């Protein structure tokens, strides 16, 4: 198999991706650690549900960015990719953590949108979320664990675009090109359905977050307009009282 069949990028582009991922991932990891330390060291904000969401979000961000920092180091060394010194086991671990943390981050961003909308509608009352906090967190982690475990069992974690181990076939593009080398890992109708479901869920999460954010803007604008009218009525009432007192 030729090198071009394995790589999406030239050797120089792979080097840029390899070293560039180290810088961007390191910055993100440091920012996430800063959030975690800031919340943990402050007892007052540590009690608030919002800040505990941010801690959970930051922890999963560290997991995700930790794997992108490793980049092609974990790719099996038999694959002609710059920096590859790993094995299939290290590739599976990277793929599992990336998919797991990706969907947990997506879930927590959606939760933030739900929490923001609920809080504004209920005068920033966190009672319900605090009461069911454990249930909420367990529910958010359930799907990422399931989808990552299925992908691991089916052998779907392989060197993918950007030279990371992710949901992909091995060799690359083997499920798309007719009369090509048979897929050694991944491929098949179940693989196609699996990746389609992952894409749909990602889009649904972004759409839900967008609609909740849009609904929040509309609701806040409604409250602002109502308050302006109420202030206007109060002003008219005060003027009427002043006129009566003058008389």
Give the tokens for residue 103.
């969907």
Spatial separation of the C-alpha atoms in residues 70 and 95, rounded to whole Å:
12
Beta-bridge partners for 120: none
pLDDT band at 230 (very low <50, low <70, confident <90, very high): low
Domain ranges of the chain: 3-198
Give the tokens for residue 74.
């974990």
Enumerate residues 6+ apart whose C-beta is below 8 A from 140. Answer: 104, 107, 108, 111
**pTM of this structure:** 0.80
Provide the pLDDT for residue 242. Answer: 44
Mean pLDDT of 213-226: 80
Provide the pLDDT for residue 64. Answer: 95
Give the tokens for residue 188.
């098949």
What CATH class does 3-198 carry?
A: mainly alpha
What is the DSSP secondary-structure string of 105-124?
A: HHHHHHHHHHHHHHHHHTTT
Provide the pLDDT for residue 180. Answer: 59
Mean pLDDT score across all residues of the chain:
82
Provide the pLDDT for residue 1. Answer: 36
Spatial separation of the C-alpha atoms in residues 145 and 203, rounded to whole Å:
19
Give the tokens for residue 246.
């003058």
- Tally helices (H) and strands (E) across the chain: 8, 2
pLDDT tens digits, one per residue of 23-56: 999 999 999 999 999 999 998 888 888 898 999 9
Query: Among residues of the chain, what percentage have pLDDT more than 90?
Result: 32
Least confident of 33-37, 42-46, 167-171, 173-177: 173-177
Spatial separation of the C-alpha atoms in residues 28 and 50, rounded to whole Å:
20
Provide the pLDDT for residue 178. Answer: 60
């Amino acid at each position: 198999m030729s090198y071009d069949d394995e790589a999406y990028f030239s050797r120089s582009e792979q080097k840029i991706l390899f070293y560039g991922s180290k810088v961007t991932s390191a910055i993100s990891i440091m920012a996430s650690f800063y959030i975690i330390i800031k919340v943990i060291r402050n007892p007052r904000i540590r009690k608030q549900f919002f800040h505990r969401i941010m801690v959970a979000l930051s922890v999963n961000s560290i997991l995700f960015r930790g794997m992108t920092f490793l980049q092609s180091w974990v790719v099996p060394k038999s694959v002609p990719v710059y920096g590859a010194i790993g094995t299939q086991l290290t590739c599976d671990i990277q793929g599992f953590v990336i998919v797991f943390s990706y969907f947990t981050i997506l879930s927590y961003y959606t939760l933030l949108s739900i929490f923001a909308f609920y809080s504004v509608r209920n005068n920033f009352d966190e009672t319900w979320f605090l009461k069911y906090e454990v249930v909420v967190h367990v529910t958010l982690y359930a799907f990422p664990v399931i989808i990552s475990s299925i992908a691991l069992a089916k052998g779907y974690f392989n060197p993918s675009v950007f030279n990371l181990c992710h949901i992909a076939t091995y060799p690359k593009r083997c499920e798309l090109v007719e009369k090509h080398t048979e897929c050694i890992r991944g491929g098949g109708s179940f693989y196609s359905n699996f990746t389609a479901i992952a894409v749909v869920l990602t889009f649904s999460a972004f759409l839900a977050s967008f609609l909740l954010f849009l609904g929040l803007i509309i609701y806040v604008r409604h409250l602002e307009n109502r308050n302006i009218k109420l202030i206007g009525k109060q002003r008219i009432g005060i003027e009427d009282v002043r006129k009566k007192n003058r008389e």
